[in-house]
């Protein structure tokens, strides 16, 4: 078998989607205040003869008591993935970061230029590998109505997730918190609501082992590119 290819009969990806909604309210004074809420929609398509399933969770997030966040503030948010199936898996998280044409305040308190800016930011944790896009590039997507724009980033968990009930069946968090951009008062002025969709992709470990590459990082990047094709 060609080491650069995955047998189509064996390539099995699953998808689970969680949506973290961020609602921005403009107060009477004109200051921007944001309330974060979360809804979860899960769906999984099993193409295997064994149970293959994943679950996306955010242990630190309490949807019943959403925090109030202001521009520049950081709040806890920690997406993790659990293998709830019966076969070892490698998992990927696709994060759609809401973005808009806004003006921000720099660290020295001066105003930056108005440009397309990610409204939420985070720092990835160890054991997660960025597989898309390549450094120095960006991938954008509009929602189906063309009203909201997202910057898309994909990360692979570097360790295999064992089958359910085993100690290493859950990943570490992709990130521990998110920070709302330090936008100028009243911006973005054309949208009061935005969300941060996160999707999980999973592939059976045996398929990753068949891909050529000297490191797991190389194999996982190739696995994702093959999935896109």
In the prediction, which pLDDT does 28 show? 29
pLDDT of residue 75: 85
- Burial code (b: 16+ CB inside 10 Å, e: under 16) for 124-157 equals beeebbebbeeeeeeeeeeeeeeebbbbbbbbbb
Look at residue 68 in the predicted model and tell me its pLDDT. Answer: 66
Higher pLDDT: 5 or 122? It is 122
8 occurs within a structural domain: no
Domain contains 29: yes
Mean pLDDT computed over 45-53? 49
Confidence at residue 189, expressed as pLDDT on a 0 to 100 scale:
67
Task: Answer yes or no: is 6 within a domain.
Answer: no
Domain annotation covers residue 7? no
Q: Is residue 5 part of a domain?
A: no
pLDDT of 66 reads 65
**Number of domains the chain is built from:** 1
Yes or no: say if 117 and 102 are a contact pair by the CB < 8 Å rule: yes
CA gap 161, 223 in Å, rounded: 16
> What is the pLDDT of the chain when averaged over all its residues?
76
Between 207 and 120, the more confident residue is 120
The answer as to whether 134 is a domain residue is: yes
Contact 120, 97 (CB under 8 A): yes
Q: Which domain holds residue 23?
A: 18-228
Q: Quick one: pLDDT at residue 162?
A: 95
Q: What is the pLDDT of residues 131-154, one digit of tens each?
A: 999 777 889 998 877 778 999 999
Q: What is the pLDDT of residue 190?
A: 58
pLDDT at 108: 86
For residue range 50-101, list pLDDT tens digits in order. Answer: 555 888 888 887 777 766 677 888 888 899 999 998 889 899 999 999 898 9
Which 3 state secondary structure label does DSSP give 157? strand
pLDDT-based confidence at 193, cuts 50/70/90? Answer: low
Report the pLDDT averaged over residues 199-211.
Answer: 84
What is the value of pTM for the model shown? Answer: 0.78
Provide the token pair at 60. 């630190």
Q: Is residue 2 part of a domain?
A: no
Out of 11-25, 192-206, 209-223, pick the least confident: 11-25
Domain assignment of residue 102, yes or no = yes
């Amino acid at each position: 078998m060609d080491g650069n290819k995955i047998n189509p009969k064996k390539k099995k990806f699953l998808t689970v989607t969680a949506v973290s909604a961020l609602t921005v309210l403009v107060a009477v004074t004109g200051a921007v205040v944001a309330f974060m809420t979360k809804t979860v929609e899960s769906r999984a398509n099993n193409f295997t003869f064994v149970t293959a399933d994943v679950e996306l969770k955010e242990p630190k997030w309490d949807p019943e008591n959403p925090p109030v966040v202001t521009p520049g503030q950081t709040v806890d948010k920690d997406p993790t993935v659990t293998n709830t199936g019966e076969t070892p898996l490698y998992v990927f998280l696709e994060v759609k970061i809401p973005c808009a044409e806004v003006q921000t305040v720099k660290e020295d308190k001066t105003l930056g230029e108005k440009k397309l800016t990610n409204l939420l930011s985070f720092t990835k944790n160890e054991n997660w590998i960025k597989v898309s896009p390549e450094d120095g590039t960006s991938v954008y997507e509009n929602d189906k109505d063309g009203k909201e724009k997202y910057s898309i980033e994909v990360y692979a968990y570097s360790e295999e997730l064992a089958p359910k009930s085993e100690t290493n069946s859950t990943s570490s968090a992709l990130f521990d918190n998110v920070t709302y951009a330090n936008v100028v008062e009243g911006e973005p002025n054309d949208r009061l609501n935005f969300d941060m969709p996160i999707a999980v992709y999973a592939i059976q470990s045996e398929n990753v082992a068949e891909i050529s590459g000297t490191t797991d990082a190389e194999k996982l990047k190739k696995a994702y590119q093959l999935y896109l094709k």
